[in-house]
Amino acid sequence: MFYTKILLMIRLVLVFLLLVVSRFSAFSQEDYKIPADVHRIVFLGNSITYAGQYISYVETYYRLKHPDSDLDWINVGLPSETVSGLSEENHAGGAFPRPDLHERLDRVFEQLKPDLVFVNYGMNDGIYLPLDEERFQKYKDGINWLAGKISEIDAEAIYLTPPIYDPKKGAAYANVLDNYSDWLLSRSYTEQWKVIDIHWPMRKYLEDQRVLDSAFYLAKDGVHPGEVGHWLMAKEILLGLGESEVRDFADIHEAIASFASGEEILDLISKQQAILRDAWLRATGHLRPGLAEGLPMEQARQESDSIELKIQQLLGSSVQ
């Protein structure tokens, strides 16, 4: 009995150390390079992904650094969505339940045929209530289900820890996402998943800034980050893809300042991503009301191709 207790204590200490290490250095992806056979990259997530700034930042910087790259970067994030399948009883004032990724994923994969999938869930999955083991398990089950689906189509997967919920808006729910993030980070060790931590870097940045200015925020509503928050997310992803020099850049504008046409390319890529996002959401279908209807796919592709031509022309002279 004594030795059993000692072994249990050692195990608990090891788990604690794992979580502490994860909070300061996520599963290292700095040597991860996008494989040569990857052509289409798809981002799945909720309203933060749908907003898309961090994806535009990642694509813009990556393409400026690798102008010969022919990767497709496609955003199909859906506002309010969960991977857990949970929804509040009176979500959106009772107008509609939260959409569930389970409902649309097969259509998304069938039509888009991704080679690499970025997964960004968690913010909505605890439905803004204190930590509860049943809800936590629903999140775990949803992520594990999604991992299986990605494996079935022989695609690569990169999991992003959830962005932070501002503790000033609710310490209990901030703690929920702390726990969800630590569990996801643990999968990089137990299952060898590729996990990029955006949660704890955002949390540290927020805490550091509040030492200087107690009124500082990354998200006015506690959920949806502004430009700074999206850059913090993009920076961690770029670091995960091996772009180590971005560590010292304060924002996307500083990151692309050395490229002659960087700002113009960022603007074009943002427009292109929005057109294709809305068109793919229309084509694949979803149950989230209230979104702008995308263009028919053929028309969207024509507009995207026109933008792409301008991007390619600018990329040819972007590096000073």
CATH of residue 300: 3.40.50.1110
pLDDT at position 20 over 90? no
Contact 177, 131 (CB under 8 A): no
Q: Which two tokens stand for residue 86?
A: 């949970």
Q: Which residue has the higher pLDDT, 6 or 217?
A: 217
Q: Which of 12, 36, 57 is nearest to 198 (CA)?
A: 57
* Residue 143 buriedness (CB in 10 A; 0-12 / 13-18 / 19+): buried
Q: Look at residue 23 and tell me if it is in a domain.
A: no
Q: Is residue 129 part of a domain?
A: yes
Q: Is the residue at 131 inside a domain?
A: yes
Span 274-319, pLDDT tens digits: 999 999 999 999 999 999 999 999 999 999 999 999 999 999 865 4
pLDDT class of 2 with cuts at 50, 70, 90:
very low
Residue 16 lies in a domain: no
Q: Above 70 in pLDDT, residue 24? A: no
Question: Do the Cβ atoms of 122 and 162 come closer than 8 Å?
Answer: yes
Domain membership of residue 293 (yes or no) is: yes
Is 45 in a helix, a strand, or coil? Answer: strand
- The percentage of the chain sitting over the pLDDT mark of 90, rounded to a whole number, equals 88
pLDDT of the residue at 167: 98
pLDDT for residue 32 = 80
Whole-number Å distance between alpha carbons of 266 and 176: 34
pLDDT of residue 317: 67
20 three-class SS: helix
Q: Which domain holds residue 127?
A: 34-315
- Count of the separate structural domains present in the chain: 1
How many CB atoms sit inside 10 A of residue 19's CB?
A: 16
Mean pLDDT for all residues in the chain: 91
Residue 257 belongs to some domain of the structure:
yes
Residue 24 placed within a domain: no
pLDDT at 221: 97
Q: How far apart are CA 160 and CA 121, in angstroms?
A: 8
Contact 194, 27 (CB under 8 A): yes
75 vs 51: CA distance, rounded Å: 9
Q: Is the pLDDT of residue 23 over 90?
A: no
pLDDT (tens digit, 9 = 90+) per residue, 29-87?
A: 445 889 999 999 999 999 999 999 999 999 999 999 999 999 999 999 999 999 999 99
- pLDDT higher than 60, residue 13: no
User: Does any domain span residue 10?
Assistant: no
Question: What's the pLDDT at 17?
Answer: 43
Q: What is the pLDDT of residue 31?
A: 58
Mean pLDDT of 20-24: 45
CA distance 195 to 161: 7
Statement: residue 15 has pLDDT above 60: no
Count how many residues are written for the chain: 320
pLDDT at 215 over 60: yes
